[in-house]
Structure 1
Amino acid sequence: MKDGHGRTIDYLRISLTDRCNLRCIYCMPEEGIDLIEHEDILRIEEIQRIVRVATRIGIKSVRLTGGEPTVRRGIEDLIGDIVSLPEIRNVSLTTNGILLPKMARRLREAGLSRVNISLDTLDRRQYAQITRRDRLPEALAGIDAALEAGLDPVKINAVTVRSLNQDYFDFAKMSIERPLHVRFIEYMPVGESAGFDGLGWGERDVYPSEQLVADINARAVERGFLPLEALDGASGPIGWGPARYFSFSGAKGTVGVISPRSRHFCGDCNRLRLTADGKLRPCLFSDREFDVRAALRTGGEEAVYAVFLEALGEKPDDHHDRVGTERGMSQIGG
């Protein structure tokens, strides 16, 4: 189905939990957040029913997020159930990678097709600063485990923050020797109004993607590499979405940029978001939510279908440069 602005909506992002084994400074306070009560979290079987209803409005792709989705019990059963739906083309996962060494093969066997691993730095000290946990070796082992399990594509998501002074060229080089797709995502101050801005980051920390690519190319030339070459849409990895992709000559993977601030892609948005407590959000940057959990528990699947239709009709045309939302990223699901 199409939303009120003529966009085909076929992608649903589902937050399985607001819990996480990291405390990233742009996502969650060091002491954590007020966690959702157990009875308010969608049960695995409820998520299964909601996805089944979502296929009726044309949902074909599902991404599981958190918090950290791998800490949710029953995730393998959920993946298997979603994959069994004939309308679903793929199920993917966004994770910090820490538990993948133990879980990647099981997730693949359950039907998971691809994975995005969130990793903002390759420097161990900086990783501990950003995540407030010294677990970089485990995250890197998670990348290895994803590749070994046959997940394809394996994407690395790095949030770019100007004041962190991350080594973007080192990240980009990861795409040369291994089939990794490194994506740089412009920092978005989501949840800033609720105090999730970590070190006081703001608009000055948004690192425009065009400048980022130029800076990577300058470093590449200094180090004796040819600059990145732009790829067309057909040459990118599965799950093209809003990213623009580039590659080094002869590289096994790609380098991508996602530009929600400097180059809006709202006109091509194809997604809805479901929070762990069962709220359907038409837009990441809007606080408008529709209560799917209540509809399911009091009215069944037909009531859920009606909520999906209502949310489709209320999906905004653009985020209109809104900064900050009432809920933080760990509570929304990204």
Structure 2
Amino acid sequence: MQKLIDAYGRPLENLRIAVTRECNYNCIFCHLEGDPIGKPQKIGTMPPELTPYDYSIIAEAATKIGINGFKITGGEPLVRNDIVDIIDNIRKYSENSDISMTTNGYLLDIYAKKLKDTGLNRVNISIHSLNRETYYKITGVDGLEKALNGLEAAIENGLKVKINTSIVNGLNDREVMDLVEFAASKGVTLQLIELQPINSGSKQFSSLHYPLSLIENLLIKKGANVILRKLHNRPIYKLPNGAIVEVVKSYNNPLFCAGCMRVRLLADGTLIPCINWRKPGVNLLPKIRNKPRDIAIKNTINAFIEVNTLRKPYVLYNLNTNQYVSNGRNLRLKIPKKLS
């Protein structure tokens, strides 16, 4: 089967999988992957809906329609005691795919070796500050040391590592260059993430949002060269000292939407086309439960085809009026050409 392409010419190549709604942190800006439940749940209060076997069906179906990248997230994926089995089942049915995980790192020193041995390629570790007090203010947990231990364990076990830092106005916006230097000293990429007004992130967005363009200007002044990553047209800044900084600017950004190649699987088994999606998605559970494997895979492929028809850029740009249009209301607007 050929790779799926949406109505805007964007291929579907990536599946972001939230394996749980539970988390051991309580970050002030958490978007919970756009899950309509709104915020992370306490450990033990919301058992997972999908099993490792369910994920094997989803991985096989996704691979058959050209998806070659899987991002495992949550909640916090490492609070699932079967997380290694989940990775194992995805890897068995998508041998050549890139499998990565986003984690707060608190439990990563326990799992790093097993995850690498099972087939995880990469890990994004959320470290929002190198200051213990600031880290606590942002995450609600005194876990900086544990996260740093997780970082070291990931590096030692051969996982490719990124540090994720969500920039919060008045809290860590003045730490950026310290984080750049720290990431460079560890030989890893620093990924700066702009806040999104989704779920917990919407409550104080106006006061907490910090425009990353200000940081980009600083990086340019320090002599950074810029390249564009295919996914979301994300700019990557390479500084003269070897530091690498990737910038994720999804807020009100048509270039970001124009480069989107993913759909999302929520922890309850619902496929949605976008983190900003607020309508019903496509529920996989009745399509795969108690079905012969071949039928379950066929049903899942059809679900991907259905959700692909729902994909559209959340932010469009009218080249005639130089105005942003959110929510894709005007389908005749043009997507800007990719930067060279």
* Cα distance in 2 between the residues matched to 1:50 and 1:136: 34
List runs of 5+ in structure 1 lacking aligned partners: 219-226, 323-334
**Partner of residue 332, structure 1:** none
Which structure ranks higher in relative contact order (CA pairs < 8 Å, sequence separation ≥ 6)?
1
2:28 alignment partner AA: I
Q: Is 1:160–1:207's contact at 8 Å kept on the other side of the alignment?
A: yes
Is 1:256–2:259 an aligned residue pair?
no
Say yes or no: does 1:269 pair with 2:260. yes
Give CA-to-partner distance per residue, 1:129-181, whole Å, 9 cap, x none: 111111110011111111111112x1111111223243111111123322110
| 24 and 208 in structure 1: CA distance in 2 versus 1, 3 angstrom threshold | same
Aligned partners of 1:61 and 1:88 also within 8 Å: no
Aligned partners of 2:106, 2:144: CA distance in 1, in Å?
Answer: 8
In 2: Cα distance, 1:86 partner to 1:211 partner: 40
Alpha-carbon shift at residue 62 of structure 1 (Å): 0.6
Q: Which residue of 2 aligns with 1:243?
A: 234
Give the AA of the match of 1:276.
A
Residues 101, 277 of structure 1: alpha-carbon distance in 2 compared, 3 angstrom cutoff? same
Q: For the residues of structure 2 that align with 1:169 and 1:204, how far apart are their CA atoms?
A: 22
Deviation at 1:208, TM superposition (A): 2.0
Counterpart of 1:115, as a letter, is: V
1:230-254 deviations in whole A, cap 9, x for unaligned? 2324xx7xx8654311122132x41
- Secondary structure at 1:49's aligned position in 2? helix
**Alignment correspondent of 2:269:** 278
Q: Name the structure 1 match of 2:224.
A: 229
Confirm whether residue 312 of structure 1 aligns to residue 308 of structure 2.
yes
CA separation of 1:230 and 1:117: change in aligned 2, threshold 3 A: same
Does residue 41 of the first structure (1) align with residue 40 of the second (2)?
Answer: no
Distance 2:266 2:39 in 1: 22
8 Å contact kept, 1:208–1:261: no
Secondary structure at the aligned position of 1:305 is classed as helix
Aligned to 1:84: 92
Cα pair 2:195 2:201 within 8 Å, conserved: no
- Distance in 2 of aligned mates of 1:174 and 1:120: 12
Asked if 1 retains the 8 angstrom alpha-carbon contact of 2:23 and 2:43, the reply is no
Task: Label 1:201 to 1:35 Cα distance change in 2 as closer, same or farther (>3 A).
Answer: farther
Q: Cα distance 1:104–1:129, how it changes in 2: closer, same or farther (>3 A)?
A: same
Q: Deviations over 1:22-42 (max 9, x none)?
A: 11122289994698753x711
Letter in 2 for 1:207: Y
After superposition, the Cα gap between the structure-2 partners of 1:82 and 1:32, relative to the gap in structure 1 and judged at 3 Å, is: closer
* Shift in CA distance, 86/26, structure 1 to aligned 2, threshold 3 Å: closer
Q: How many residues align?
A: 302
User: How far apart in 2 are the matches of 1:22 and 1:86?
Assistant: 31
Residue 127 (structure 1) aligned to one of 119, 135, 143: 135
Q: For 2:298, give the aligned amino acid.
A: E
Contact 1:97 1:140 in 2 (8 A): yes
Structure 1 residue aligned with 2:5? 2
For 1:326, the equivalent position in structure 2 comes to none
Name 1:50's counterpart in structure 2. Answer: 58
Offset, 1:74 = 1.9
**What amino acid sits opposite 2:25 in the alignment?**
L
**Sequence identity (%):** 30
> Any conservation in 1 of the 2:276–2:314 contact (CA below 8 Å)?
no
| Correspondence for 1:157 | 164
Query: For the residues of structure 1 that align with 2:76 and 2:96, how far apart are their CA atoms?
Result: 23
Q: Which of 8, 16, 20 lines up with 1:17 in the alignment?
A: 20
Distance in 1 of aligned mates of 2:45 and 2:85:
22
User: What is the letter of the counterpart of residue 163 of structure 1?
Assistant: G
Where does residue 224 of structure 1 map in the other structure? none
